[in-house]
Amino acid sequence: MRRANTGAVAASAAAGSLVAFVLLALVVTRHEGAPLPVDSELASWSSAHRPEEALALARGITYTGTGVVPYALVVVAGLLLGRTARQRVRAVTVCVCVLAVAQTVRFAVMSLIARPRPPVTDWATRASGWSFPSGHTTTSAVAAGVLILAVLARAPQSRRTLVLLIGGWAVLVGLSRVYLGVHWFSDVVGGWLFAVCWLSLLLYVLTRFFPRVRSSLTAPRPGPSPTTEERPGSPLA
């Protein structure tokens, strides 16, 4: 994919996710924070299907969505992106800042919207602060996205498996917040939209101003070299 195409896709994704996020936020505020129909349905289903084993698994997953784990993942991303010691220090610093600033902006938006959480009687884990957009969801999605970009740049041979694993983890973190009763589903969707917008802006900046990173992200996967019979100019080409 060429630079112009990558930048255009990133810009379109940023604009589209931003519009969707703003529309969802307007719907939430217009309802004065009350749950949407899908929120109530999923909350009722979750509270009715909570065996101890599933609760323990959900709590373990949700724990990884904040604190040390997301920052450890973006540090790994920085280490993957750098080739020399100096480059790795810079890349780690940038990746950590990307996550930290995303959390700061999300917190400001959350405080502005001030949506109440679901009733405390439905909680199956501890939580604090306002509800929209979900902090665990946003943090895990941004961290996963940064790591996925690093994998796409530096691990061409195993990128598909790693991308699925990293992305699957972020999705499970978001869903665990609904299952544990501390967020509405629309809070989680808001977190995903916020993360997509943030990561799309990051990708746009990378493709616009950092050609080396752009080349790594858009370079074709290496394949087997053509045989003599398949080379251009041969009888079988």
For 180-205, what is each residue's pLDDT tens digit?
A: 999 999 999 999 999 999 999 999 98
For 66-88, what is each residue's pLDDT tens digit?
A: 999 999 999 999 999 888 999 99
How crowded is residue 69: how many other Cβ atoms within 10 Å of its Cβ? 15
Q: Is residue 59 pLDDT above 80, yes or no?
A: yes
Q: Is residue 229 pLDDT above 50, yes or no?
A: no
Q: Is residue 41 pLDDT above 70, yes or no?
A: yes
What kind and span of H or E run contains 56?
A: helix 52-63
Global confidence as pTM: 0.87
Phi then psi for residue 15, to 5 deg, are -65, -45
